Structure 1
Amino acid sequence: MQNYQRDWLQRMLPRLALSPSLAVILVFVYGFIVYTSYLSSTNSKMFASTDLIGLENYVRLFNLPNWHLALKNLGIFGGLYILICVCLGLFLAILLDQKIRGEGLIRPVYLYPMAVSFIVTGTAWKWFLDPGIGLEHVMHLWGWDSFTFRWIKETNTAIYCVVIAAVWQSSGFVMAMFLAGLRGIDNEVLKAAQVDGASPYHMYRRIVIPMLRPVFLSAFVVLAHMAIKSYDLIIALTNGGPGRATELPATFMYSYTFTRNQMGVGAASAVIMLMTVAAIIVPYLYSELRERQHERN
């Protein structure tokens, strides 16, 4: 009897220890996801309402010019952000993989920006890009009076300032992912290619980079998720301006929910963002689970 109780306690103790955290996640994550979905189908304005209106909020959402602008900005920001981070991260990882001297010092320098919050990154780059106190001001003090760099003040170029700040923060993390992938490649494969006379360019193009396909996929999923939910970087760097030049779906959702008192429309935009993230992450998780199941069999 005592052995049975002890075995039962050993089995249940981990579950009992995790149950409070699971309960909190169930309520404050999945519960609020369900509640937000419910609000998106109601006539909620400043306060939540129980008057169901079906998909009317979604129709209104996709008829708003600001939502289309937010989607356009997300396409520009997300596309450039993912592309530059992947290319720069791969380039830096290849450089560090050459066993250069001082790698132990250089690698943390590249990784350091990821340890900084997006609020700090946005504030720092806002100061750096501000013509009155940043790069342009410093260049004028050094005598280059003709130098101008006012991207952050121009509606056509402000979104690229967001790209610059985001790439600075995330490229080191992508570099670490690619470096781990490069260090995991079997050296015997590379030595065999060298014996066959393959040049470094062809070796990376035909052997190394194709073998990094899982890393490319993981980097894309992580970066796409970060791009879709970007909010704090935008608020700290441009606050969605000038005008609405850098508004993204996340800032749109906040403004329509808490500033314009259109809670139903804001909830609908949040659901669209969730569905977009799920459309990226769910197939990735499915492929990972499928590969693991295949390896086990």
Structure 2
Amino acid sequence: MRVKFFIAKVLSFVPDKLFSIIKYSLYHKKIPNLNGSSFSEKLLSKKCGLMGSEEKQLRETVTDRLLVRDFVEKTTSGVDLIPLLWSGKVFTKKVWDGLPECFVIKARHGSQMVKIVDKNKCQFNEVYNATEEWKKTDYYLLGREWVYKNTPRELVVEEFISFNSDVPPDYKFFCLNGKVELVQIDLERFKDHKRNLYSRDFEQLDVKLIYPSGEPTKKPRLFESALGIAEKLSQEFDFIRVDLYILDEKIYFGELTNFPENGLGAFEPQSYDQALGAKMRSNNA
């Protein structure tokens, strides 16, 4: 990761739009058309900031791990927010002492800066040092996702939600114009990452997105409720990915994602990229 950030700093002189187009070309192996009809091209146009000021402000708000909680509470019911245990600028020993044995600490200003903490397995200094590194990190510069540029470099701590003594499966709902069109399920993402893709009717698709498919997943009892929640949360967007944790009796909110895989994830087969894009009508069209 440090090497990636070093390279990002070296290339900081390259304009965001040009940087994103070049990276897209390398990952998707084609030169994009910002007015193109595929899903990845439409996502790229948004990553290049081709939208109105109100939409930009909304996308910045829902990216912030703290501010998005208010958005969720105002937008829908039936979904639980993972209890917030603490938020602030500096993770001190006093804060550590006041937290339970297990918790999850995250940075507000970027993805991948997340740590599941078990006090029986790690020490305060280890967690503190990690959070200090996070705060030094300009996550926006790494992938030029402008939604992170103005987010405060602060921390949030949430309760650890277990699922059969493990991390719960992560359900990611791709919502296009307020309707779920694709469901991504990530399995064992901290061990041997697998990824299954499903239709809104929970039919497994013969489509791959970066990771290999895993064993078929049983449809959760609360899947239809989660689908409705995702669609309510997505009503103001032409595209947003709604991430939820579906447990036996509860649905927990995870996050709202503007640019999945930084817009660089290529579907296999490529024809699915076109098919998904055909279902997306841009708010700026």
TM bin (shorter chain): under 0.3
TM-score, structure 2 as length reference: 0.27
Name the structure with the higher helix share. 1
Name the structure with the higher strand share. 2
